[in-house]
Amino acid sequence: MERQVRTRYAPSPTGYMHIGNLRTALYEYLIAKSQNGKFILRIEDTDQERLVEGAVDVIYKTLKLCGMQHDEGPDVGGPYAPYVQSERKDTYKPYAEELVKKGHAYYCFCTKERLDALRSDAESKNQTFMYDRHCLNLTPEEIEEKLKNGEPYVIRQKMPREGTTTFEDAVYGSITVENSMLEDQILLKSDGLPTYNFANVIDDHLMAITHVVRGSEYLSSAPKYNLLYEAFGWEIPTYVHLPLIVKPDGSKLSKRKGDASFEDLINMGYLVEAIINYIALLGWSPDTNQEIFSLSELEKAFNISRISKSPSAFDMNKLRWFNAEYIRAMSLDAFYEKALPYLTEAITNKTIDLKKVCKLLQARTEVLTEIPSKVGFLNELADYDLNIYVHKKMKTTLENSLESLKAAVTVLEDITTWDEATLHEKLLTLVEKLGIKNGQMLWPIRTAITGWEVTPGGAIEIADLLGKEETLRRIRIGIDRLEKAVAAGNA
């Protein structure tokens, strides 16, 4: 009977969720869901020095926000609990001792000082440090004596020194390494806690994990894991190593160098759905030309065979494109909900209908944080250069702009029902009556009521938003300024 597919996302709680981490979680989730399997969350906190308070909550919050519901985990339980490594600490030592008995591991009593000296010596000779197996040949009696005396020890994996180890990866195919390159890695530390490399093999086996998904930087560790599986006589999982995510210039993404984490992207105004969609395509391609995928569509379309070996470039411009596509595809109500926090902060004029503002902004917004920069004219009329009335394409000058504004005021003052439809009808009737182009009326009005060269929406929509009183007040200011400028020009 075929085993049920079981993947696990096993992050260390060290703070934020970087993009590579999130993609690993996403691919593990998609591999499980595309094959009716289970997606497990396990917290790997054996490296106590790197733990950051609140980091576990960041993991929960991110997975929830992204819609990646785990089937088993510390918060939801499951048949293989506990799902936090530090709560499983008594699990690992018996396995390490079993390997010692089988001759695949050994006790090492070397002090930190001795190891530091070996490391310094290797560095001075420009060599890669490898443990010199000083404790490998201790007699059972010597080991017994040291243990009885309570001497601190670690348990090291005994690597084969001859030949090669070959393993299969679902992405990179068959990979062979020289055993002489494999160091006798530590399995159990002197505090009794397992190393990451040992704990995840034990936990993956005990939790019946079928697919191990991680970054290609861990390819070199796979032979060590395989030797452990073989030493125990356990079934080896399917390895899925993912290509690196790099910057467009090929350099590595790094939080320290200012590259954005998932949380940063959210704070920068990107939508979760757009981020997930984009990240899914960093290293995986569908067998169609489709680019926009919901999470449920990804669950159906995802296939390991379509994962690339080549590094993927994280391009903010491409993410911005995805985000704009998602914003445009939203219902007005959904966009309003997302835009509201930005609008309430940016628009101090409480008479403005924010839903109407959203209608103007939706097609003109690529990231949510742009919103405040697009709506400042609604609060107050900025001081502006009169030259923006002059527009070659619209065929406007200071003189004909002044004429248009004067004619518009007379019509606008008489409007009793102030809405877009009425404004449109009255102003375009006026344009026809004056025998001028639409732009010769609407450009001066928009300029007068905003003072901006570029705005979301045209004269009619903005006049509707500002209301009759404020629109007329601003147009009169424009008339006053233009009269002075035209008079001075003709003097």
As a whole number of angstroms, the distance between CA 294 and CA 399 comes to: 54
The CA–CA distances, whole Å, from 398 to 211, 227, 433, 443, 479 equal: 71, 83, 20, 11, 10
CA dihedral angle for residue 279, residue 282, residue 284, residue 287, rounded to 10 degrees:
90
Q: What is the pLDDT of residue 51?
A: 75
- The partner residues of 242 in beta bridges, in order of sequence, read 215
SS3 71: coil
Residues 96 and 89 sit within 8 Å (Cβ to Cβ): no
Q: What is the pLDDT along the chain (491 residues), one digit of tens a residue?
A: 678 999 999 998 887 788 999 999 999 999 999 999 999 999 988 777 777 788 899 999 999 999 999 999 999 999 999 999 989 989 999 999 999 999 999 999 999 999 999 999 999 999 999 999 999 999 999 999 999 999 999 999 999 999 999 999 999 999 999 999 999 999 999 999 899 899 999 999 999 999 999 999 999 889 999 999 999 999 999 999 999 999 998 888 876 777 889 999 999 999 999 999 999 999 999 999 999 999 999 999 999 999 999 999 999 999 999 999 999 999 999 999 999 999 999 999 989 999 999 999 999 999 999 999 999 999 999 899 999 999 999 999 999 999 999 999 999 999 999 999 999 999 999 999 999 999 999 999 999 999 999 999 999 999 999 999 999 999 999 999 999 999 998 64
The CA–CA distances, whole Å, from 424 to 61, 408, 418, 447 equal: 48, 12, 10, 17
CA torsion through residues 433, 436, 439, 441, sign: negative
SS3 295: helix
Distance of CA 108 to the CA centre of its chain: 42
**What are the counts of helices (DSSP H) followed by strands (DSSP E) for the chain?**
19, 11
Q: What is the pLDDT of residue 94?
A: 97
pTM here is: 0.92
SS3 132: coil
> In order of start, what are the domains of the chain with their CATH numbers?
84-199 (3.90.800.10), 255-329 (1.10.1160.10), 330-374 (no CATH), 381-490 (1.10.10.350)
Q: What kind and span of H or E run contains 177?
A: strand 173-178
Residues 159 and 231 sit within 8 Å (Cβ to Cβ): no
Residues marked as catalytic? 255
As a whole number of angstroms, the distance between CA 301 and CA 298 comes to: 5
CA within 13 Å, CB half, 323? 22
Angle at 173 between CA 170 and CA 175, to 5 degrees: 120
